[in-house]
Amino acid sequence: MEIKLFCPGTIANLSCGFDVMGTCLDTIGDEMIIRKSNRRGIRITKIDGADLPLEAERNVAGVAGLALLEKLEIDFGFEIEIYKKIKAGSGIGSSSASAAGAVFGINALAGNPFTRKELVQFAMQGEVLASGSAHADNVAPALLGGFTLVRAYNPLDIVRIESPADLFATVIHPQIELKTSEMRAVLQPMVSLKSAIAQWGNVGGLVAGLYTSDYALIGRSLHDEIVEPLRGKFIPHFEDLKKSALENGALGCGISGSGPSVFALSQGIETAQKVAAAMRNIFEYTDIAFEIHVSRINSEGVKIM
């Protein structure tokens, strides 16, 4: 009758993989309680930790859940409680955590008629509300865990990639808000052939490095020719953060999602923690509040608590 979930944060784009690559975090996430109701439809009864709409049609969890309900042949509805730990506009998948958790929990209480991969298409509808774009680079890893590659959107074709065992993420979240829709607006509709070729090579290198646990190749591939140059200037001290992370052993460093969070991937927990300390040093002497997280890659995705 009721299910309690951990709805994980995610890192999207991963430098070179704009709108097609993402990974799932294990220590950053929301919590959600979903219970069956005799009344059809979806009612969001509580949101703790954020000022978000309770109306299902105006909430990403509600919109994603309603998209799934259209395909379910059931005579009951659902109530949802959301406990937000990921701030909206953080760049670590706040909207996707809500959307993924809602469809996972509703599907589970309905007897699991859809696979995790099939649930991605419904969770994407929540992303449309949040950013105006039906992208899957956050909701796919949130549901599937590990790393994901969205090979195509029409039809949706998602490849899950297991994370190398010793790969860790460090994420710093400056407490400013950059709306995804606004950060998409700064992008250029056309890119040069030279930049496109470099980006294709990096995406291929990153996928190959993940499959073969070639940490050096992963590091060489975490480079963005197209998006980072346009978005980096909106993130306070971005270049300093990146330089410091690399100097302290990170494989690579870039913008998490649309920012303002900045991520680094490292081989080993010790290096990831060293990178976290270096990032902290950059922000300690500013007037900008911030949070830092170190996380193993979450291989499961949304979890039943």
Residue 280, phi then psi, degrees to nearest 5: -60, -40
Q: What tokens does 10 get? A: 């995610």
Q: Give the span between the Cα atoms of 218 and 221, in whole angstroms.
A: 5
Contacts of 115 (CB under 8 A, 6+ apart): none
Q: Active-site residues: which are they?
A: 127, 180
Crossing angle of helices 116-131 and 94-109, in 10° steps, is 140
Q: What tokens does 142 get? A: 């949130």
Q: Give the span between the Cα atoms of 221 and 230, in whole angstroms.
A: 19
Whether 184 contacts 258, CB under 8 Å: yes
Residue 93, phi then psi, degrees to nearest 5: 80, 45
Q: By CB neighbour count within 10 A (0-12 exposed, 13-18 middle, 19+ buried), where does 222 fall? A: buried
Core vs surface per residue 9-31: b (16+ CB within 10 A) or e = bbbbbbbbbbbbbbbbbbebbbb
Core vs surface per residue 93-120: b (16+ CB within 10 A) or e = bbbbbbbbbbbbbbbebbeeebebbebb
Q: Give the span between the Cα atoms of 295 and 31, in whole angstroms.
A: 17
